[in-house]
Structure 1
Amino acid sequence: MDAYESPKEVDFHFDVMCPWAYQTSIWMRDVRDQLDLKVNWKFFSLEEINLREGKKHPWEREWSYGWSMMRIGVILRRLDMSLLDKWYALAGKALHVDGNRPHNPDVARHLLEQIGADPAIVEESINDLSTHEEIKAEHDRVVNTGGFGVPTLFFPDGQAFFGPVLLDPPTGDAALRLWNAVTAWLEFP
């Protein structure tokens, strides 16, 4: 990659339960809108990476906080990536800003209605066991590159970065300066 060539696409791995990934997603959307960047929203499970011995994997439970929200996200992404984008933005805000519980099925249904999606997607996600495989594959992608958390960014050349972890995401020119700083590291694989 040319040192001056900014990527046109990025895979953004997240878990709705992670406040840091949510804050970074706000920055990522700002950068996307300014640069016409394609953002592919992908999953990573904090429940799975932090699983304690003797506990069930999230896919072994009928409903599991972060994992179940990602299963809803899989169904939305199959319909249109923009629905997943809206879902993540709204569910993240509900959890991390408003103090709501988007991991509660009734709240999840309400949030789906707010983005213009069918609230029955909650039940569809529970009944569609293939959603587990998509989440596992994306989670394993991060783990197999040495990743342990989110946000994790993957670039078209195969490089991946953990972060940036943001508390107060920059906007406008500051958001672009941070993007340029992050992507400058792509010159040094």
Structure 2
Amino acid sequence: MTSVDFWFDPLCPWAWMTSRWMLEVEKVRDVNTTFHVMSLSVLNDGRDLPEEYVEHMREGWVGVRAALLVEQQYGSEQLREFYTALGTRYHLGKEPKTIETVRAALAELGLDEAIADKADAWKPGDEPDELDVALRTSHHEGMDPVGDEVGTPVIHINGKALFGPVISPAPKGEQAGRLFDGFALVTEYDGFYELKRTRTVGPIFD
């Protein structure tokens, strides 16, 4: 079995697309995906950003902190389920990135709804709390191997870490498996760094 470690921020629609692809891959390849939390808000902390993007990053804290709390209290399998519940609301349902949306995702899975309050208790500018320290640790475990010039999704496979793939829509069935085969293949070459073209479509959620 191939073990894949996948870092995501619930806020990111591209990470959502890649995560749905990995779930398809598991159906057609002997692959197990472990989900981990990274944070675009951590990644962009202190950077000079347009004001609208700064607000977007502020919105990201509650969801990503809640995701880490779910992982801490319930384990990685429940983190995967929580990501699906929250991501469905964020990206398909277009629900706001608020404590109420986080609470609804927790309630759907029968998880402790107080997690939403704990996640929302810390605000940017506050002194770091234990959860903030843990979030940054998880973030850096995923992101440091790929550097700070990329965001999410990040996949670790075969001892290598790569940003991507950025896909839209997410392939299904054997096509998902074949894409994974190619992705896994490039991780075998130490000198591989980048393969890219301009995106001409946004995330296609199907």
TM-score between the two structures when normalised by the length of structure 2:
0.75
Q: Which amino acid in structure 1 is aligned with residue 161 of structure 2?
A: A
Higher relative contact order (CA 8 A, sep 6+): 1
Q: Compare 106-115 and 135-144 and name the one that shifted more.
A: 135-144
Unaligned 5+ runs, structure 1:
1-6, 56-62
- Which residue of 103, 106, 116 maps to 2:110? 116
Structure 1 stretches of 4+ with a deviation exceeding 6 A read none
For 2:133 and 2:157, locate their aligned partners in 1 and report how far apart those are by CA, in whole Å. 22
1:103-150 CA deviation, whole Å, 9 max, x = no partner?
311221111111221211112345693221222012223145314201
Counterpart CA distance in 2 for 1:52 and 1:125 is 21
Alignment counterpart, residue 40 of structure 1, candidates 34, 37, 50 = 34
Q: Tell me the residue number matched to 1:172.
A: 173
Check whether the contact 2:145–2:161 (CA below 8 A) recurs between aligned residues.
no
> How many angstroms apart in 2 are the aligned matches of 1:15 and 1:171?
22
SS in 1 for 2:62: helix
1:83-113 Cα offsets, whole Å, 9 max, x none, are 1111111211211111112x31122111111
Q: Deviations over 1:33-75 (max 9, x none)?
A: 33352222112221232335589xxxxxxx9422221211112
Aligned to 1:131: 131
Aligned twin of 2:94:
99
Write the distance in 2 (CA, Å) between the matches of 1:19 and 1:127.
25
Out of 2, 21, 27, the residue aligned to residue 8 of structure 1 is 2
2:157 to 155, 158, 167: 155
Residues 44 and 149, structure 1, Cα contact 8 Å, conserved in 2: no
Residue in 2 aligned with 1:66?
Answer: 60
Match of residue 145 from structure 1: 146
Give the share of equivalent positions with the same residue, in percent: 26
The answer to which of 176-185 and 40-49 deviates more is: 40-49
Aligned partners of 2:26 and 2:98: how far apart in 1?
30
1:36, 1:72 → 2: CA distance? 30
Describe the shift of the 1:75–1:51 C-alpha distance in structure 2 as closer, same or farther (beyond 3 A): closer
2:90 counterpart of 1:89: no
Q: CA RMSD in A?
A: 2.3
SS of residue paired to 2:162: strand
Which one-letter code corresponds to 2:188 in the other structure? E
8 Å Cα contact 2:155-2:163 kept in structure 1? yes
Instruction: Count residues in correspondence.
Output: 174
